[in-house]
Structure 1
Amino acid sequence: MTASRLPDPLQLCREALNKLESGINGLAARKMETPEFAQRVSSCTRVSSGARYLAERSVARLLERLDLPSRQEVQNLADAVRRIEDKLDQLLPDLAPQALAPRPPRSRRPLQMEPGEALAKARQRAKRPTAKPRKEP
């Protein structure tokens, strides 16, 4: 007895899909070559461009009425700040390590120090000359 081979169902699907795709591509290619298609694409492009222009003008007017900057104005400002920062970096290259130096916390809590250390610091502050008194007008 010889067993007959069954056709591959996935192969049948692939062939059907290929025929469908080639038929749709051929139809689309024929339609795209017509002058009517070119006119319709041209009119759609004009409508799309006009709608985009109106939307941009409306947003610009709204931003102007709300006294808000546009994207271009914010970009120009960011570029100007970047240029200023670059110039400052060129002028003050030595200040960067000092800015990164650790500083004491700015809180109302006193630093945790030994009692003798706190007394020594208080005595140093007391030895400093005080500010000159102001002259009364």
Structure 2
Amino acid sequence: MFKSHLFRWALTGALLMMPVALASCQKQSAGPKVQSYAQDGLLGISDVNPNMPMSPTYHTYGEDTNLMQATIDQVPHVIDSNIRINGPVATVNIHVPAELTAEETAAVARDAQDKLTKAMPRYTMKVTVSRK
């Protein structure tokens, strides 16, 4: 009688362990690769926070202003410009020659708006053009 109970327990244990054994023999799926944190001393926090100075995407307002100015310099007919950044809004005032027509001035405004929006997509651009 003791042997029969022992045999049942052993058989039950073997049957319960069979799915685990079968699962371990299957081919593992090619799921996501494990990636380690950057060796920045901050446990990878600079990888997820773009406003950290250690992050490669970190920019200062000065750098953003320089990039906007370089973009404005590519727009034809621009004499002078003024850039103000207030949080997520960048206000850009552009001065063009007085002899430009209203259509040419509007074209300069559209061109500047398009180029600035593409160069700095994180800002809401407000572009105004005045004749000087």
Structures share a fold, TM > 0.5?
A: no
Give the helix-richer structure, 1 or 2.
1
How does the TM-score come out when normalised to structure 2? Answer: 0.30
Q: Taking CA–CA contacts closer than 8 Å with sequence separation of 6 or more, which of the two structures ends up with the larger relative contact order?
A: 2
How does the TM-score come out when normalised to structure 1? Answer: 0.29
